[in-house]
Amino acid sequence: MFFAPPNATQPDEEPIRQQSKDSTISEFVKVAALTDIPAGASKLVEVNQVRVALFNLDGEIHAIEDVCTHDGGPLVEGTIVNECQVQCPRHGARFDIRTGAALSFPAFEATNTYAVQVKDGEVWIERPE
């Protein structure tokens, strides 16, 4: 059985919808206050039973699925390196926080990313499916 950590959040607000470039409608859900994620920090949230790691890279918020594709390690607990990469705490695989791309062995597969919007000091992410 999975229990979300105490700092994981569940949105309680109505989603906002936005049409993307490919003509699909995306739903965004509020997941955190911008002040919850200082520059250089990360925060774990959960939406639709998907763990999402939020990272603040010099004031820009990025959202990736909180899973190392090598063995399921928690990326939110990893170290930010080279200003835009997260290193998995288990075996050292690195992922680009901006794109989710796997950058080093032992991971070969990218992790999912989610679009982010910051409005009025609140962080909204594309709802994971």
Segment 70-84, tens digit of pLDDT: 999 999 999 999 999
What pLDDT, on a 0 to 100 scale, did the predictor assign at position 54?
98
What residue spans define the domains of the chain? 16-126
CATH code assigned to 16-126: 2.102.10.10
What pLDDT, on a 0 to 100 scale, did the predictor assign at position 5?
45
What pLDDT, on a 0 to 100 scale, did the predictor assign at position 3?
38
CA 56, CA 63: separation in Å to the nearest integer?
Answer: 9
- Give pLDDT tens digits along the chain (129 positions): 333 444 454 445 666 666 555 435 579 999 999 999 999 999 999 999 999 999 999 999 999 999 999 999 999 999 999 999 999 999 999 999 999 999 999 999 999 999 999 999 999 999 998
Q: Phi, psi (5° rounding) for residue 63?
A: -130, 125
* Cβ proximity of 85 and 68 under 8 Å: no
